[in-house]
A and B are shown apart, each in its own frame.
Chain A
Amino acid sequence: MPNIEVDKREFDELVGEEIENERMIEEGSMLGAHWHRIEGNVCEVETYPNRPDLLSVEGLARAYRGFFDIETGREKYKVDDGGLEVGVDESVEDVRPYIGGAVVRDLELSKKKINGLIQLQEKMHETMGRRRDKLAIGLHDLSTVEKPFTYRAVEPEKVSFKPLEYDKHMQLGEILEEHEKGQEYAWILEDEERYPIIEDAEGKVLSFPPIINNQLTEVDAKTQDIFIDVTGKHKETVMRALNILTTALSERGGQIESVTVDGEEMPNLSPEEMTLDIEYFREISGLDLSMEEVVERLKMMKYGARKKKNGKIKVEMPCYRTDLMHQYDLIEDVVIAHRYTNIDPELPEVDQIGRQKDIEDTVQVVRDILSSTGAMEAMTYVHNNKEDLTDKMEVEKEDFVKIDNPLSDEYSALRNMMTPSLLEVLQQNKHRGYPQKFFETGNVAVLDDSPSGASNRKEAAFIQIGEEIDFNGARQVLQILERDLGLDLEVKEVSVPYYQDTRSGKVLVNGEKAGHIGQFSEEVLSNWELDKPAAGFELDLEMINEKLKK
Chain B
Amino acid sequence: MKLSTQAIDILEQLKKHGDRTVEQLEQSGFDQSMVNRAAMELQEKGLIEVEEEEEVTRYLTETGREVAAKGSPEHKLIERVDEGDKSLSNLQDLNLDVALGKARQKDWIEIEGGSVALTDNGRNALEKDKLKARLNEEDFMQRDEDRGLVDTETEVTRILVLTEKGQDIELKSIEEDFNVEARTSMPRTGKKHYYKNILQYARQTWLELGFEEMQGGYVVPSFLNFDALYTPQDHPARELHDTFFVENPGTSDISEYGDKVEQVKETHEDGWTTGSRGYGSDWSKKEAERNVLRTHTTAISARRLHQIDINEEELPKKFFIVGRNFRNETVDRTHLAEFYQTDGIVVGRDLDFSNLKGYISKFFEKMGYDKFRLIPSYYPYTEMSVEVQVWDEEDEEWLGMGGAGMFRPEVVKPMLGFEAKVLAWGLGIGRIASMAAGLTDIRELYRNDIKVINETPVWRPDWNTSNGGNQ
Contact = CB atoms under 8 A, between A and B. Distances in A.
B450 A429 contact: yes
Contacts of B408: 326, 328
A327 B275 contact: yes
A178 interface: yes
21 contacts: A183-B114, A184-B89, A285-B353, A286-B353, A328-B383, A340-B384, A343-B374, A348-B348, A348-B350, A357-B213, A359-B215, A370-B190, A371-B190, A379-B195, A402-B247, A404-B246, A428-B449, A445-B217, A451-B221, A452-B219, A453-B252
Nearest to A176: B89
Contacts of B200: 364
B93 to A, nearest CB: 12
A404 B207 contact: no
Given A352-B317, A376-B450, A383-B337, A452 B377 contact: no
User: Which of A180, A433, A437 neighbours the largest number of chain B CB atoms within 10 Å of its CB?
Assistant: A433
A355 B204 CA distance: 10
B277 A325 contact: yes
Interface string A333-350: 001100011011111101
B448 A378 contact: yes
Interface residues of B, number: 113
A414 B246 CA distance: 10
A376 B246 CA distance: 33
A19 interface: no
Given A32-B378, A284-B406, A348-B355, A134 B190 contact: no
A454 to B, nearest CB: 4
A348 B351 contact: yes
User: Which of A178, A347, A443 neighbours the largest number of chain B CB atoms within 10 Å of its CB?
Assistant: A347
Interface in A297-353: 325-329, 331-332, 335-336, 340-341, 343-348, 350, 352-353
Interface of A: 29-32, 34, 48-51, 130, 134, 177-178, 180, 182-184, 186, 234, 236, 283-287, 325-329, 331-332, 335-336, 340-341, 343-348, 350, 352-357, 359-360, 364, 367, 370-383, 401-409, 411, 414, 425, 428-429, 432-434, 436-438, 443, 445, 447, 450-456
The 10 closest A-B pairs by CB, nearest first: A453-B249, A183-B89, A433-B27, A286-B352, A48-B378, A354-B207, A32-B376, A286-B354, A345-B357, A404-B247
Given A326-B275, A347-B359, A402 B190 contact: no
Given A178-B113, A355-B207, A402-B248, A371 B353 contact: no
User: Which of B26, B281, B331, B353 neighbours the largest number of chain A CB atoms within 10 Å of its CB?
Assistant: B353
Contacts, number: 290
B389 to A, nearest CB: 10
A329 B383 contact: yes
Interface in B227-256: 234, 236, 240-241, 244-256
Tell me if B's interface is mostly helix, strand, loop or mixed: mixed
Contact of B385 (A183, A332, A370, A401): A332
A451 B256 contact: yes
B416 interface: no
Contact of A454 (B87, B217, B280, B355): B217
Given A377-B193, A379-B445, A383-B326, A177 B357 contact: no
Nearest to B362: A347
B148 interface: no
Contacts of A283: 350, 352, 421
Contacts of B410: 325-326
Contacts of A346: 354-355, 357-358
Contacts of A360: 203, 213
B366 to A, nearest CB: 12
A135 B145 CA distance: 45
A535 to B, nearest CB: 17
B458 to A, nearest CB: 12
A25 B318 CA distance: 35
Nearest to B421: A284
Given A31-B376, A429-B448, A445-B217, A371 B211 contact: no
Nearest to B373: A341
Given A354-B209, A356-B213, A383-B326, A432 B27 contact: yes
Interface string B323-360: 01010111100000110000000101011111101111
